[in-house]
Amino acid sequence: MEKIVEPVVFLCIILLGYAFKRIGWVKSDDYKVMQKIVFNLLLPAAVVASFINNEHDMRLLWVALFGFCASVIPILTIYAVTGKTPLGNRAFYMLNGSGYNIGCFALPVVLALMGPGPAIAVIMFDIGNSVMMSAGMNAVTTQLLRIDDTQPLTPEEQSQPLGPRPPRKIMDKDARRLQRWANFRRIARNFYSSAAFMTYMLMLLFMVVGFSIPHWVGTVLQPLSNANAFCSMFMVGMLMDLPHGTKEVKSVATVVAWRWAFAFIFSVAAWFILPVDPEIRKAVIFVCFAPVGVFSTLFTDRVLGNARLAGLCLATTAVLGLIAMTVANIVIPA
């Protein structure tokens, strides 16, 4: 009974966020305020607190590498398989079928169901995952599909097999250098402007060099860390919406099918491949069922102008992921 109480509470918080939006107490775009609070304050606090309260096994670096592979493989696979799919659907599947919502979902769930010990594995997984979530996912999608993400695709462009930007080689050497530098700065800005990503990198550096953060820092940050779970789940509820027609249902169902197929594959791989304790492997399996990332709504809005449908994907995969994690917690004995 105790193993399902926390997930039920999380589900109620998600529904509460949706109810607040439906009755008009919050607006559809108010999630952006909560997003800034979570990503720039609460999530970094939760990450630092978890690092302070847990031992740092260098074998966990394998979990970070696994997280990176688990974020890269799906987006490349979806690109390879959906060659005959219209551009709009293809971009939507690539942006929402890969990457994991860890800091705002998997981390609070693992903390609630398994305690603070395995949470360090979740953070290490997100170090690899955040490389794609912060900027890599958008860069890979727009480059492979030849999309100019400075403005959303028109309906006519979304029906084409590839984007309107043809591959062209700039002949002038200086112009090519300036273009590469501009692309590099744009991608780098997405990384260093993310407080969560920079916190991950700092904690990883501390782990490698063996630096210990004073425990009083964890005591100060603990109230903020505790608030991360409620605010994150409430934000998911604010992003929830109902589908408009069977076309949107089909799009969401396709994303769910892709994500769950990879979730089972990566879960098996994590259990049999990762050279870490069973409890850590169990936490990684939880993460494999994490929902669509919040950044996916931003990238989907930038490329397709349809953040609402990405939010629907996030909410749907969040509810299903919560169920999957609860079942995994009961079934897996570790």
pLDDT tens-digit series, residues 186-213: 777 777 777 888 888 898 888 888 888 8
**Could you give the C-alpha distances from 46 to 117, 225, 312, in angstroms and in order?**
13, 4, 26
For the cut 60, the answer to whether the pLDDT of residue 325 exceeds it is yes
- Percent of the chain predicted with pLDDT > 90: 39
Q: When comparing pLDDT for 154 and 326, which is higher?
A: 326
The C-alpha atoms of residue 300 and residue 251 are separated, in whole angstroms, by 13
Which segments within 100-216 are labelled E, that is strand?
Answer: none
- Answer for the pair 78, 85: CB distance below 8 angstroms, yes or no: no
- The arithmetic mean of pLDDT across residues 69-87, rounded, is 93
Q: What is the pLDDT of residue 1?
A: 55
Task: Compute the distance between CA of residue 114 and CA of residue 285 in angstroms, rounded to an integer.
Answer: 12
Query: Which tens digit of pLDDT belongs to each residue from 99-114?
Result: 999 988 999 999 888 8
Structural contact between residues 48 and 218, judged by C-beta atoms closer than 8 angstroms: yes
Which pLDDT value is given to residue 273?
Answer: 95
d(CA 56, CA 283): 16
Backbone angles phi, psi at 84, to 5 degrees: -100, 5
CB 287 within 8 A of CB 263: no
pLDDT, tens digit (0-9, with 9 covering 90-100), for 253-312: 999 999 999 999 999 999 999 999 999 999 999 999 999 988 888 888 888 888 888 888
Whole-angstrom distance, CA of residue 86 vs CA of residue 157: 9
